Structure 1
Amino acid sequence: MGRIFITGSSDGLGLRAAKQLVSRGHTVYLHARNAQRASDARNACPGAADVLLGDLTSIEETKALAASLSKLEPMDCIFHNAGLYLGPYRAQAEGYPAVFAVNVIAPYLLTCLAPLPRRLIYASSDSHWGGSTNLDDFGWRERHKAGHFRESSAYADTKLYNTMFGFAFARRFASNGVVAHSVDPGWVPTKMGGTGAPGNINESERLYVMLAEGSGEAEGKNACFWENGKTSPAQAKKDAYDEKAQDALLKKLEDITGVRVPE
């Protein structure tokens, strides 16, 4: 059985997957942004090994979360599920909007600072098709100053970056025996997706469990993009496969955070 950590698992799809993984005998660590959410998570998934705290809008709290992971036995899987969707700019980590802090900066930091697991999974979205690899105004800070912040487009950028993480880290950590994937769970009825979302949440849950375990269709595979409703790896946006763009993204995040990708 495996040891699995899932970010953003105090509710929604992260919590649903955690419950399934616990029921399958895995040792599961949940994540919540504050003590109240942690209490809710413990009540909702009493079989979890523990709930780790960390507000992912904060670089310092994200680093502290990585330190908490470092005190535990290494994970078999770290599932980067936490994410923000639409909303105002809300300047957070280093002045970047909350959606970039949670969706991009936090998973980068956790990947670089926590002990490497056997599997790294990054939650993407079909919105990644609308994202851009142009880093000239990473985080939309200049466009925000000019009054041109577009929340849906900013979100799409973050999801393209999450997709790129799957390919980039699979390549960077190949010699360490680490597998990395990205996954589009689909538009499903969660707090983020809304009650009217048409997707099959049971299929999303199945995908999450499969990738966390490295089982089923995911067994033996690496550097894949997975999509709700498909039983084999799917095709992501062409830009996500661009290794120069991937490296530029990682360098941008290194410059922002002062944290390098480990060798």
Structure 2
Amino acid sequence: MSRILVTGSADGLGRAAAAALLDDGHSVVVHVRAPERLAAVRDLLDGGAQAVVGDLAKLDEVRALADQANALGRFDAVIHNAGVLGGRALLPVNVVAPFVLTAEIERPERLIYLSSGWHRSGQPDLDGVDWSGARESRSYPDSKLFVTALAAAVARLWPEVRSHAVDPGWVPTRMGGPGAPGDLRLGHVTQAWLAVSDSPEALTSGGYWYHQATREPHPAVHDEDFQAALLRSLADYTGSTLPGGGL
């Protein structure tokens, strides 16, 4: 049995991953944005899950969330599932929160970051980026390029950790919209599998995955200079650093 934290668990793919892992007998900690959202995961809590609460758009709440997680004990895996499609919360939720939680939560054996096929349209340009969300300085594809590069950087810097990025497909969740063409039943499978499987493929690190198969990401993802610039920029804004990141 593994202990897994899944961010953004109130609905969509996060909820589906948490429910599947719980059904398989794992110890699951779900995450919701605010206390009133706990009602959305009541069935998971009744089934044995625990919960942490915090708004990933607010840096102080992200730090408090890391403290809540650490108080529960070390995790075997963390699935950084939470994400938004646009607005001023785009970079805080999609990039800053995964970075801070990675830096501040006791290091697990496995880390999984939700990416998107749209990351290939992102621009590896950090000039003028506003991590605070005070203004919209980057696009959704940019945010997913950044978090995919973060996953690759973690795999390189922490060789004892299995770190991956997952494209779940464009599926009809609340975020994806009802017209999304992907198969919702498959959207959570790869990240849940990577979190617990002992298959040789899942025991690798640094992969970019789509439906349990690796694919080639944007060239900037494995560019060590870009990774270093990204980590440095995030560290400068947040005050958090990845141990071993050379910052």
- TM-score, L = length of structure 2: 0.93
Deviation at 1:190, TM superposition (A): 0.4
Cα distance in 1 for residues equivalent to 2:132 and 2:237: 13
8 Å CA contact 1:66–1:114 kept in 2: the answer is yes
In the TM superposition, what whole-angstrom CA distance separates every residue of 1:185-218 from its partner, at most 9, and x where no partner exists?
A: 0100100011111101222222122112134464
Cα distance in 2 for residues equivalent to 1:245 and 1:36: 39
Deviation at 1:43, TM superposition (A): 3.1
Which deviates the most, 72-81 or 34-43? 34-43
Residue 233 of structure 1: aligned partner: 214
For the residue of structure 2 that corresponds to 1:139, the secondary structure is: coil
**Which structure 2 residue ranges, 5 or more long, are not aligned?**
none
Cα distance in 2 for residues equivalent to 1:218 and 1:42: 34
Residue 225 of structure 2: aligned partner: 244
Residue 42 of structure 2: aligned partner: 42
Cα distance in 2 for residues equivalent to 1:58 and 1:220: 33
Which deviates the most, 52-61 or 215-224? 215-224
8 Å CA contact 1:5–1:77 kept in 2: the answer is yes
RMSD of aligned alpha carbons: 2.0
Aligned-partner residue type, residue 216 of structure 2: Q
Deviation at 1:49, TM superposition (A): 2.4
In the TM superposition, what whole-angstrom CA distance separates every residue of 1:219-262 from its partner, at most 9, and x where no partner exists?
A: 3211000013xx42111111111011001100000000111112
Residue 169 of structure 2: aligned partner: 186
Residue 93 of structure 1: aligned partner: none
Count the aligned residue pairs: 244
For the residue of structure 1 that corresponds to 2:84, the secondary structure is: coil
**Which structure 1 residue ranges, 5 or more long, are not aligned?**
88-96
- TM-score, L = length of structure 1: 0.87
Residue 202 of structure 2: aligned partner: 219
Cα distance in 1 for residues equivalent to 2:26 and 2:102: 21
Residue 78 of structure 1: aligned partner: 78
Q: How does 1:52-201 map to 2 (within 5 A)?
A: 52-87=52-87, 97-139=88-130, 154-174=139-159, 177-201=160-184
Residue 91 of structure 1: aligned partner: none
Residue 94 of structure 1: aligned partner: none
| Between structures 1 and 2, the one with greater helix share | 1
Aligned-partner residue type, residue 77 of structure 1: A
In the TM superposition, what whole-angstrom CA distance separates every residue of 1:18-41 from its partner, at most 9, and x where no partner exists?
A: 111011000000000101112221
In the TM superposition, what whole-angstrom CA distance separates every residue of 1:86-118 from its partner, at most 9, and x where no partner exists?
A: 33xxxxxxxxx3111101111100000010110
